Amino acid sequence: MTSQTLTLRSFRNLRAYRRAAALASDIFWITRRFPRDGQNTLSDQMRRHAHAIPDAIARGWHQRHDPCAFTQDLDAALNACYQLSHWLNVAKACQYLSADEHHALMARKKELHRTIAQLRARCGMLCE
């Protein structure tokens, strides 16, 4: 076995998953400080979409024997990235996030999106 085979035995070894899980965790902790009235809707939406990203990657990994199914799950992860962008913008507009926090989270989300897109392109070639 090659070293790459050994490192990819689990979805937890995928760079995209690790970045997504770290972002979801950070979003959870950031939203805990939102005002109570914002925690019922805004924080829920942010958490839901942030957690949907690593969830979709993990779900896709378990279907990796079918490149088309893996691609569909990665598409779901990319869609959740877009939706998270919207909710990050809403949180900034509501002044729950500072400009610096918003910029840092958007930069991480953009890098995560790029990482997932690269992974999707690699497995998408098998599906075409």
Q: Give per-residue pLDDT as tens, 89-117.
A: 999 999 999 999 999 999 999 999 999 99
What confidence score (pLDDT) does residue 30 get? 95
Of 84, 60, 83, give the one whose Cα is nearest residue 72.
Answer: 60
Q: Give per-residue pLDDT as tens, 31-65.
A: 999 888 755 789 999 999 999 999 999 999 888 88
In a domain, 31, yes or no: no
What confidence score (pLDDT) does residue 12 get? 83
Global pTM value? 0.86
In a domain, 8, yes or no: no
In a domain, 48, yes or no: yes
Number of domains in the chain: 1
24 pLDDT band, cuts 50/70/90, is very high
In a domain, 25, yes or no: no
Query: Which domain does 85 fall in, by range?
Result: 36-127
In a domain, 119, yes or no: yes
Q: Which residue has the tokens 């400080």?
A: 33
Total residue count of the chain as it appears in this document: 128
User: Which CATH number covers residue 90?
Assistant: 1.20.1440.60
In a domain, 12, yes or no: no
